[in-house]
Structure formats: structure tokens, C-alpha cells
A and B are shown apart, each in its own frame.
Chain A
Amino acid sequence: MALARSRYLDTFFVLSTVTLLFWTEFGDCNNGRRSSDGMDTDFSGFSIPLEHSFEVDDVPRFRGRGTLQLRGGRETSVSLSQIQLMEEDRNRLKDVAAVDGLYRIRVPRVSLQADRQTERQAEGYLTAFVRACSVVESHLSDVISLHTDVSGYLIGVSIVTLPGACHGAEVEDEIDLEAFNTTISIIGPVNAPAPETARFIERMEQEMEKKGKNPQEQKSFFAKYWYLILGGAVLLMASSSAQPPAGGAREQG
């Protein structure tokens, strides 16, 4: 495997888009606890191969597509360097697209935490696919995401092309199918929010304060209900003086 990789390194590289992605940690305020994970890791980084397969008979035969350069640490960053497609590959990709075959990619199962890489090198690969026709029609522009679990272990890979649809459009220019235009990112798990009790209590307190400060609310009993008292008094007087109570009622309204 190492031999094969070095052969790729000899061929010329096309450095594609580099994306930095942070360990997604939002929602929670008190998340300083994770710092111990990345304290003592070396930042030398390491690389893993990215392989692809597209065959007319749909039996996967994976070949190298490029190398993923990973920089371990608290914020794992990734960059991808890939080789161009050869003439033969381009034709095969078109043939596969014509029969609505699949374009598959795979990466080995590794841990992205550089310090754990040696201890947790599990066998096996993670695979994903798109329809070959959409790869052709998007002119090799795709988005690859590497998904990790809480411990930084690679659990899944996904690939989508932009645009994703197959309209049956012919790709005339061979140049369009030479180099990949890839956006790559690492996506870690999101911290699900816990019930927001603190902020709710804060807000309730604010409201209480507002209520307390509001001068309207602090009026005396008589100031607040003078019209009711007046109305009641008028009503009482009206009824005691044996007059029709309609006048009192009008007064009250």
C-alpha cells in the first residue's frame, strides 16, 4: 500500500480546495472539557488514501484517486490532493455513465486523532457512491464529507455532486473531465442541546424585574380601581334613593 502511494506522489498533483472545519461545538456554553484530547498531539499530520471505482460491469475495482492530508489535533483539518483522470479513465467514466453505473469512493477506517492512529487501525473501508452520470454531468465537481464519531474515529464518508441531477447532457469537452473540483470537509458530531433552564429562569427574572419597575403596576389600590369604586358608590346611591338603576349602570360602563 505504501509503495502504491509513493507512486502517486511521483505523478503531478492538483491541489484542490482546502477546507478547515472545526470540531463543531455549539449550543452548549460550558464545553471547555474537551481540551485534554488535543493537548499533546503532534501536528505533523498524516495521510490516508482516497480510492474510487467505476466499472462498466459494476464490479468494484478500486484505484487511487488522491490522498487526504490530515492535520490532527483539536481542530482537525483536511486537504486533498488528487491526480488527474487519464484518457482511458475518462472514456470509461463516460461509458459507465451511459449505462447508469455507479461511481464509488472509499477510504480506510482510521482514527483522525493522530496519536490514536496506530492503536486503532481497524481493517475495512467506508464506502459511498453517486451515479456516474451525475459525476460526468457535474464536470467532476463534488463534495466529499468525512464523518467522525465522538472519539475522532472515521465512521462514514459521503459524496454528492453539484449539481446532483442527471439530465442526459453530453459532455463535449474532454478537459472538463480531467481534474476533480472537490470540496472536502470533516464533520464531527453536534452536541445536542440540553433543556435551557438557566436562560429561562434569567428571562423570567428579567420579566419580573420589568414588572416591578413598571410604574403603572405600582399604583395604589385606589388609583387603580377608582372608577370601579366610584361606579359602585353611584350604584349604591342610586338604588338607595329608589331611582331606576339604569343610570348607575351607565355610569359604570
Chain B
Amino acid sequence: MASLLYPLTICLYLLNLSAAVFEDQVGKFDWRQQYVGNVRFAYFETQPQSPNVNVKKLLVATENNIFASLNSRTGDIFWRHVDKTGPEGHIDTLLVHGQDAIVVVGNGRLLRSWETNIGGLNWETVLDTGSFQSAALIGVQDLVKYVAVLKKSAISLHYLSNGHQKWVENLPDSDTVQYQTVYSGGNGEVFVLGVVPHSHIVVVAYSIEDGEILKQTSVEAPWMSSLESSCVVVGPGVLLCVDPVTLSLYTLPLQSEESTEMNQILLQTLDLEVASGFQPVLTSTQPNPARPPLSTFFLQLGPDHHILLQLSDGLIAPLRDFSPSVLVTFATTGDRTVAAVMTPKNDTACSVNLFTVDSGRRLLDTTVIYHMDPNGGNPIRLYVHAFLKKDDSVGYRVMVQTEDLTLTFLHQPGRVVWTREEALADVVTMEMVDLPLTGTQAELEGEFGKKADGLLPMVLKRLSSQFILLQAWIAHLWKLFYDARKPRSQINKNEVTIETLSRDEFNLQKMMVMVTASGKLFGIDSKSGTILWKHYLKDVQPNAAFKLVIQRTTAHFPHPPQCTLLIKDKDTGLASLHVFNPIFGKKSHIGVPALPRPILQTLLLPLIDQDYAKVLLLIDDQYKVTAFPSTKNVLQQLQEMASSIFFYLVDSSQGRLSGFRLRKDLSTELIWEVVVPAEVQKIVAVKGKRANEHVHSQGRVMGDRSVLYKYLNPNLLAVVTESTDTHQERSFVGIFLIDGVTGRIIHEAVQRKARGPVHFVHSENWVVYEYWNTKSRRNEFSVLELYEGTELYNSTVFSSLDRPHPPQVLQQSYIFPSSISTLEATLTEKGITSRHLLVGLPSGAILSLPKMFLDPRRPEMVSEQSREENLIPYAPEMPIRTEWFINYNQTVSRVRGIYTAPSGLESTCLVVAYGLDIYQTRVYPSKQFDVLKDDYDYMLISSVLLGLFFATMISKRLAQVKLLNRAWR
């Protein structure tokens, strides 16, 4: 009988737990945004458009190893190729010719050609080893046929049509000469330019046909250190270099036979002056790879000073001086090339103008005004898409890239068509903040919040707030009436603005505060994904670490909510605080403490100051504590509480965990120390529990009706170590459970023949971790649960100082059929709902795995008691069911973190997965037990109720009549 029941129970569970999305629910509660990252190369499709294809494309290659095509009308992604992370997938260069995009990947490892319309791969070639230097398209007789790839010691030529190698040649003296540039003017020769720093330049000319060296010259250039940064090719094959020391330009005709010396032209003779300490930059353009570059070029003389120059017959003549000018670029359409110059107009706007390249004359009606975001960064790059209008004049569109990785696409005369916030491709940390109450609700709240001052003012206040309510109601009615008159198509109901933000009935809509690696903060509406505010922190180092804490929630009207971001420089450890309002993104005017010493640890205390802000403690490297806010009230509270404030520090390089206690004078004392020798194992992660986690049930009812109490230590730390010995037989993963107050090692386990990366979740009375089993070569999950036993030591309060008995530890492991990227647990308001684990898989799926499957009490043999307890019989393999994918087909690329937040509904948990993409959804681990279904029959229930009501009325009446009649009798 038991054997029959066993598969049955499993089936029953699986049936119960399947929680997939119905087709009509797609996109109702969830949204996904896709990003490409920091753009390094961008090309507009320059091919003349055929009349039936009116969609224009923009090709981008980014630092996140992504090659994508964007719709230049909407900014949406047409297609996107996500390569490997790290140097292996690094995109070295992008060259576009017609419908083909040539990409060199992984420091010259692969050469690929993509078809730009649909994003299909034309061909791929594995290149010879050697570090990549440069690549160029090579044309012969006005036709671009080849692509040349220059490596440190060799040059190879490939056919553009199929990627086959035409020839490969070793470069002469490549151990002394640094070859950096490859150039071809379309006349049957390929020039490879190299430099011996502070000595001479080497020019090698190869024949395109067979790779034969036609000519090899070396020219004295003792001032030169790098070709790439100081030289360009202009005009009919003239190498033009700038020397920042002597402030002069040098020219060298590449084709001429006898040139052994560069021709020096002092900038002074051209009446040009370089800003002090500035390295001048040359910019030239070669519109067609089969023809020589134009003879016009830009010279940047200062941070905001450019000049357009022309080279003719070895002489340089200035065409136009642009001062001030922020950015310059060339753009080509057909056979016309123009120069685009961005000049600052005032503090908040820049204007872009077009100029002809042959004379430097300004083209009329070509101004585009670019308004800079006051919370954004400065523009760093300008991409111009020029096209010919019907009247043969040049029209253009501009894409501006700013420091904060924003792409803005503008039409004339300054209409923003779209913007993309590419900083969101690299979210570091996030929090969800409740939205504030509506204005009217807040007004009522405020009435109760203010101090009472006499009867009459109170009455007046009440009247005024009632009047405001009336006003709001009339305004609402008016809006309804007005909207009803408008045609339906014009009403945009989903529009979310910062003014209309208010908490909904079940607190399902929240503000997502996201911190990105570039130092840009975003406030995103969780319901629609609309970016409501953004703030760029200008002086953030690229390697900074962030920690975001919510000091005051929205619950304390009229005090605004307050978030604090701790920005820590990883090298120096020095930190700074950015305090802001998470709903509006505005920087707060509260004075922040100066932090002159590196910060080791932060601690958000449950103490609040008189303004309801939680106290943040910052511990520096001398173990001194700074409190923020540090008002008198706070300091007084801290003094009273000092002996019960403990914190811990982790020094993973020495394997030292140490505990400290706060003293009354805000100094600290060392009270415990645990040292895990770093020679044997290295601490990789330490995790406590989430502060906002609630546990509803203190224990578990077992089959025999006794209760197994959970060991719910809020101070428990889970410490994960990895062995330094990586041999597959001897490597291990260590799990330590340490009390953060007393330093007591509660449990110490070793997972042998295991290796990281370890992902783990620590919550309630359990720890779940995932590791790689080196012996069986598979991923495994393990779960640890802690129980006090059948009796509680002290049921009223938990104190780490008074729990002498160690808990019982149960553990079980399972095989998981996939590797994982990240792990998180669901979180609900009161903790009644059963828990699920959210597993981010490398495939881009997010798996909602019931915690029930990870239960160390799963029995080997089914018994009456285990069935009573609803325990699933033990099976070593953990299933992955496709119904458990909460993001159905909405793949989240490179998921790096999952954030969970409780909502006002106990059954519902809000989930945000972030990585390259951002995906927001809701999960219902125990189904929506507190929500009526969409198809709930209100009509039936109300008619039944009404019917019953009338029936009682009638029967009551009848009974009365009957009683009366009986009384008369």
C-alpha cells in the first residue's frame, strides 16, 4: 500500500505546487527591460534605404561584450548577441560595411561577420594567436573586399564575403617594433605602421594581392611614444602626428620613396595655442575604405577647443576655429561628408551644428539643441547620422552618449526621440520603498500627526482638511467627466508620473531604488518599469562598493522617507554618504558626518531618533564608531543601549572573525575572536538574516502531535569557506554557523570533495547552499535546519547570551541538474506563506523552487507520521519543472541578483531579478489564498445573499402574522 501511495503523494504535491502563468496573464504583473551596456562602438546604417524598408538601424558593440542592433526610431532592441563575460568575449573592434558587420572578439581570437538586418552570423573564423592591435577594411578599385587584422607580430587579410584567409605575413622585427595601425587607401597596398618608442617609426607596405613586402622604411621620430594616440592618416596617404612637447605637427607622406624625415610644422606658425597640460588629439575621417581619407581633420587643442584644419600640398591651413566646443565628429552620407560640432550654449543646453568639410562653412538650418539633464553627466561622445533630404540638403540626427551611460537620440531641432539608460545593465544593489500616501490621505494623517493646540484651531484644521478632501473629490469628478468626453484612444491610463504616485490598496506598487556600478541612481516604478527619477553621482570611482540602507520609510509623514547610500572606494576604503529621498530622488540637506578613515562595517540599528530615522553606525579601521544621524537624542539613546550593541568584523585575508561591543563613549571593545586559518580555507562569504524577515510559526507540528521548535537566532551568521587546496579529492567547502554576539560556533560542517562558487541563503532556521561536487561532477544543494528540540529554552525572548544548549542540526543534500547564477528566498509580510527559493539559472530562467523539497526531515521510508506531516519522501534528485519558471519565456540574461520584497498581501512576494536585463514580477508561493479570483461570480453570491435577505424578511413577516393570529385565537 505504501509503495502505491508514494508516487501518488509526489504527484499530488507536484500538482499542488505547479504555479505557472496563464496566457492571458502574460505581462499583466511582470515586465522586462533589456539593456546592452556601455556603448563603445556605434554605427548608423548608412546603406541607402530601399523604399519598403523604412526602419533604420543602429549597430552597437558594448563593454559588456554585447553586439546589438537598435531601432533608431524607438530605441528598442531589434536583436542582441550576448557573448561570454570577461576578456574571452571582449569585443575588440567593430567595422561596418553595407549589410555586413565585422567584429573581432576576445583579443583577436575570433573574426565574425554578422548580417545586420536579422542579426544572423555570416561566417566566423578562428584567428591565429597573438594580441590584437587593429583592424581595417581594405578596398580595391572602389570595392571593399577584404578585412585586414593586425596582431602583435602578424598581419592577415581575409575575404569579406566568406572569411577565408587570403594571406598572413609575419611582421619584420616585431619583437622591437610595436605595430599599432593598419591603413589602406584603396590603391593595392596595405600600410602597417609601427613605432619604436622614442626612436623611430616603421612603415611597411604590403601588396594586397600576395602579401609581399613592397617597401619598408623607417623614419626618425625620437619624440613619439605611441602611434595610436598621436597620429592619423589624412589626405592622400599622409601620416599626420602631433607632438605635445614641442607643440608641433609632423607630416610624412607614406607613398613617397625618399622620405626619411618627418616634416615639422610648429603650431605657433598656425597661430594655434594648446591649453596647458593638454594632450592634443587629431581626428580624421575616411568615408570609404577604398578611397584615401579626406584632407580635412580636427585638432583638439583643449578640453573645449577644437579647430578644423585642411592639409593641401604639405601645407596646413585652418578652416574654422571652434571655441568653445565640447565634441566634434564627422558624418558621411553618399559622397558628402560634413563635420558636426557640439558647442555649449548655456549651463543646461548644448547646440549641434553642421559644417562643410571643404570650406568650414556652416550649413543653414542645421541646429539641434541638446538639453542636458541636471542630474546626469556630461556628454562624452557624439554619433551623427547624416542623410540627404529631397532637396539635396543634408539632414541629420544625433545620438549623444553621456558619462552616466545614457544614450539620447535627437531629431532636429532638438526633439528627443528616445533615451536609453544603459547604466541599468549593471545594477549593483537595490531596495524597494513603499510609495507615499496620496495627498489627501497624507493631509488627514498630518492632522493627527500635528500637536493639538486648543479647541478652535483643531476645529478649523478639521474643516480645512475636509474642504481639501471635497476639493480633491470635485477635481476627481471633473476629471472623470472630462475624460469621458475625450475619445478613448487619447486617454493614456498607464501613464505614471511622479505626481500621481501613491500607494495602492495592497501595497503592490513600490518604488525600486537601483544603484548602478557607474554611480547613477534610479527610481523605478515597480508596476510599469517607468524610470521616475535618476541621479548621477559625479565623483564616484569606477571600483566603488555601494551599500544602500533605508533609514526612514514612508510611514512617518510628514517626515520624508530617507535612504542613505554608502559609497566606499575599494582601494583606499574611504567612504562617503549620499542621503536622498527615495521617492523623488532629491538629495537631502541633512548634514552628513565626515568620514576621514576607511569604513570597515556598517550597522543599521532599530533605534530611531526624534525624527523617526533609524540610526546608522559606521565603524572605521580604528574601531571607532560614528553615528548617523548623531543628534543629542541619538547619542543619549546609544549610551543607554551601548552594552547591548554588538557587531562583528570579518578579515578574510587572515580568516579572522571578531566580535566587538559598543562602549558608552562610542569606542568599542573586542570581546570574541575566531580565527579560521587562511592557509587551509578562505572565508568567501558571511551572511546574516534579513532584518525585515518575519517568522510566523515558532515550530513544526510533527506526526505525533508534538512540536519541534525552531532555533530562531536573529544573530546567527552563516560563514562559508572554500579550501585553498583545489585538488578535486581534497578540496572542500566549509559551513560555519556562528553567533554574531557571543562568537560561539553553533555548527561546523565540511562538505568534502566540493568546490565553489557557493551560493547560499540564510533565513528563518535554515541555510541552503549550492556547490559543485568535484567527485561526481555535478551541482548539489544542501540544506541545514536548526531546531531547539521539543522544548523551548525561553519562549518569551531570545538572547544569544542565554542559550546554553546547542541546537539540533539536521542536514540533507540533493542533486540539482543545473548550475546556478544566484539564489534568493521569497519574503512575505507576516511569514505565514510557505517559502520558495528563487534560483537564477545561467540559461536566463528564474526557478521558483518550493522550500518543501529542501527539507532535511524528508524521510527515507514513508511512515504514517511523515505522511501526517506532509513530508515528501526523500529523492536524491531535485526536479526542475518548467512550470516553476516564473519568467516563462522572458529570459533574463546574465542574472546577477534577485531581490525580494513583501507586499501588503500576505500571499504575494515582489521579485526583481537584475543582471543585464531587469525583470519584475510577483510570486505566490502558497497561491493567492487571500485574493478572490478574477472570475469570481459576484452576481451569484450577491443574488443569493439578497434572496436570503428577502426570504428572511418575508418569513419574519409571515411568522409575525401567524403569531398575531394565534394570539387572537
A residues neighboring B (CB under 8 Å): 27-28, 58, 100, 102, 104, 109, 120, 122, 124-131, 134, 143, 145, 147, 149-151, 153, 155-156, 158, 160-166, 187-197, 199-200, 203, 207, 210-211
A residues near B750, Cβ cutoff 8 Å? 150, 189-192
B residues near A166, Cβ cutoff 8 Å? 802
Q: Is the CB of A122 within 8 A of B876?
A: no
The minimal Cβ–Cβ distance linking B680 to chain A, given in whole angstroms, is: 5
Partner of A190 from B677, B747, B812 at Cβ < 8 Å: B747
Give Cα distance in the complex from A100 to B874, angstroms: 49
Give Cα distance in the complex from A126 to B735, angstroms: 19
Give Cα distance in the complex from A199 to B670, angstroms: 48
Within B727-759, the residues touching A (CB, 8 Å) are 732, 734-735, 738, 742-745, 747-752
Partner of A153 from B670, B677, B742, B802 at Cβ < 8 Å: B677
Q: Is the CB of A193 within 8 A of B812?
A: yes
A residues near B748, Cβ cutoff 8 Å? 147, 149, 187-190
B residues near A134, Cβ cutoff 8 Å? 801-802
B residues near A28, Cβ cutoff 8 Å? 752
Q: Is the CB of A129 within 8 A of B3?
A: no
Q: Is the CB of B673 within 8 A of A126?
A: yes
Q: Is the CB of B742 within 8 A of A128?
A: yes
Q: Is the CB of B643 within 8 A of A193?
A: no
Additional 15 contacts, C-beta under 8 A, given A126-B673, A128-B744, A195-B877? A28-B752, A149-B676, A149-B681, A150-B680, A155-B676, A156-B743, A164-B802, A164-B803, A165-B794, A187-B748, A192-B782, A195-B813, A195-B814, A196-B813, A196-B860
Known: A191-B752, A196-B874. A158 touches B671 (CB 8 A): no
Nearest first, the 6 A-B pairs at minimum CB distance are: A156-B674, A158-B744, A195-B876, A164-B804, A160-B804, A164-B802
Binary A-proximity of B791-831 (CB < 8 A = 1, otherwise 0): 00010000001111000010111110000000000000000
A residues near B749, Cβ cutoff 8 Å? 189-192
Q: Is B675 an interface residue (CB 8 A)?
A: yes
A residues near B747, Cβ cutoff 8 Å? 190
Q: Is the CB of B671 within 8 A of A129?
A: yes
Give Cα distance in the complex from A166 to B749, angstroms: 32
A residues near B804, Cβ cutoff 8 Å? 143, 160-164
Binary A-proximity of B318-329 (CB < 8 A = 1, otherwise 0): 000000000000
Query: Which one of A120, A161, A195 has the highest number of Cβ atoms from chain B below 10 Å of its Cβ?
Result: A195
The minimal Cβ–Cβ distance linking B11 to chain A, given in whole angstroms, is: 16
Q: Is B665 an interface residue (CB 8 A)?
A: no
Q: Is the CB of B673 within 8 A of A125?
A: yes
Give Cα distance in the complex from A145 to B739, angstroms: 14
For this complex, 16 residue pairs linking A to B, each with C-beta atoms less than 8 Å apart, are A129-B671, A147-B748, A149-B676, A149-B680, A156-B744, A164-B803, A164-B804, A166-B802, A189-B749, A191-B750, A194-B780, A195-B780, A195-B815, A196-B876, A197-B815, A197-B876
A residues near B745, Cβ cutoff 8 Å? 145, 147, 155-156, 158, 187
Q: Is the CB of A164 within 8 A of B801?
A: yes
Known: A162-B804, A194-B780. A199 touches B860 (CB 8 A): yes
CB-nearest residue of chain A to B775? A194
A residues near B811, Cβ cutoff 8 Å? 27, 192-193
The minimal Cβ–Cβ distance linking A41 to chain B, given in whole angstroms, is: 18
B residues near A211, Cβ cutoff 8 Å? 3
CB-nearest residue of chain A to B752? A191
Q: Is B470 an interface residue (CB 8 A)?
A: no
B residues near A200, Cβ cutoff 8 Å? 860, 874-876
B residues near A162, Cβ cutoff 8 Å? 804
Q: Is the CB of A127 within 8 A of B813?
A: no
Give Cα distance in the complex from A207 to B750, angstroms: 33
A residues near B738, Cβ cutoff 8 Å? 156
The minimal Cβ–Cβ distance linking A142 to chain B, given in whole angstroms, is: 9
The minimal Cβ–Cβ distance linking B759 to chain A, given in whole angstroms, is: 16
Q: Is the CB of A207 within 8 A of B3?
A: yes
Give Cα distance in the complex from A195 to B674, angstroms: 30
Q: Is the CB of A104 within 8 A of B671?
A: yes
Partner of A127 from B671, B782, B875 at Cβ < 8 Å: B671
The minimal Cβ–Cβ distance linking A150 to chain B, given in whole angstroms, is: 6
Q: Is the CB of B672 within 8 A of A151?
A: no
Give Cα distance in the complex from A36 to B876, angstroms: 31
Give Cα distance in the complex from A164 to B750, angstroms: 29
Binary A-proximity of B645-673 (CB < 8 A = 1, otherwise 0): 00000000000000000000000011111
The minimal Cβ–Cβ distance linking A101 to chain B, given in whole angstroms, is: 10
Q: Is B773 an interface residue (CB 8 A)?
A: yes
B residues near A155, Cβ cutoff 8 Å? 674-677, 745
Q: Is B963 an interface residue (CB 8 A)?
A: no
Q: Is B861 an interface residue (CB 8 A)?
A: yes
CB-nearest residue of chain B to A200? B876
Give Cα distance in the complex from A27 to B749, angstroms: 12
A residues near B681, Cβ cutoff 8 Å? 149-150
A residues near B812, Cβ cutoff 8 Å? 193
Partner of A203 from B676, B814, B861 at Cβ < 8 Å: B861
Binary A-proximity of B618-633 (CB < 8 A = 1, otherwise 0): 0000000000000000
Q: Is the CB of A158 within 8 A of B742?
A: yes
Known: A125-B673, A194-B813. A130 touches B801 (CB 8 A): yes
Give Cα distance in the complex from A150 to B594, angstroms: 44
The minimal Cβ–Cβ distance linking A228 to chain B, given in whole angstroms, is: 20
B residues near A147, Cβ cutoff 8 Å? 674, 745, 748
A residues near B780, Cβ cutoff 8 Å? 194-195
Binary A-proximity of B746-783 (CB < 8 A = 1, otherwise 0): 01111110000000000000000000010010001010
Q: Is the CB of A149 within 8 A of B734?
A: yes
B residues near A27, Cβ cutoff 8 Å? 811
Within B697-752, the residues touching A (CB, 8 Å) are 732, 734-735, 738, 742-745, 747-752
B residues near A192, Cβ cutoff 8 Å? 735, 749-752, 782, 811, 813
CB-nearest residue of chain B to A128? B672
A residues near B813, Cβ cutoff 8 Å? 192-196
The minimal Cβ–Cβ distance linking A136 to chain B, given in whole angstroms, is: 14
Give Cα distance in the complex from A102 to B742, angstroms: 11
The minimal Cβ–Cβ distance linking A17 to chain B, given in whole angstroms, is: 16
The minimal Cβ–Cβ distance linking A233 to chain B, given in whole angstroms, is: 29
A residues near B674, Cβ cutoff 8 Å? 126, 147, 155-156
B residues near A195, Cβ cutoff 8 Å? 780, 813-815, 876-877
Partner of A158 from B3, B669, B735, B743 at Cβ < 8 Å: B743
Partner of B672 from A127, A190, A193, A203 at Cβ < 8 Å: A127
Give Cα distance in the complex from A36 to B749, angstroms: 21
Query: Which one of B6, B802, B812 has the highest number of Cβ atoms from chain A below 10 Å of its Cβ?
Result: B802
Give Cα distance in the complex from A61 to B776, angstroms: 52
A residues near B815, Cβ cutoff 8 Å? 195, 197
Give Cα distance in the complex from A109 to B677, angstroms: 10
The minimal Cβ–Cβ distance linking B99 to chain A, given in whole angstroms, is: 52
Give Cα distance in the complex from A210 to B672, angstroms: 57
A residues near B643, Cβ cutoff 8 Å? 100
Give Cα distance in the complex from A97 to B420, angstroms: 64
The minimal Cβ–Cβ distance linking A50 to chain B, given in whole angstroms, is: 15
A residues near B671, Cβ cutoff 8 Å? 102, 104, 127, 129
Give Cα distance in the complex from A210 to B680, angstroms: 49
Query: Which one of B6, B751, B801 has the highest number of Cβ atoms from chain A below 10 Å of its Cβ?
Result: B801
Q: Is the CB of B861 within 8 A of A127?
A: no
Q: Is the CB of B860 within 8 A of A149?
A: no
Give Cα distance in the complex from A127 to B671, angstroms: 7
The minimal Cβ–Cβ distance linking A197 to chain B, given in whole angstroms, is: 5
Give Cα distance in the complex from A174 to B891, angstroms: 72
Query: Which one of B735, B794, B804, B813 has the highest number of Cβ atoms from chain A below 10 Å of its Cβ?
Result: B804
Give Cα distance in the complex from A203 to B874, angstroms: 11
B residues near A58, Cβ cutoff 8 Å? 669
A residues near B673, Cβ cutoff 8 Å? 124-127
CB-nearest residue of chain A to B802? A164
B residues near A210, Cβ cutoff 8 Å? 3
Give Cα distance in the complex from A184 to B751, angstroms: 26
B residues near A158, Cβ cutoff 8 Å? 742-745
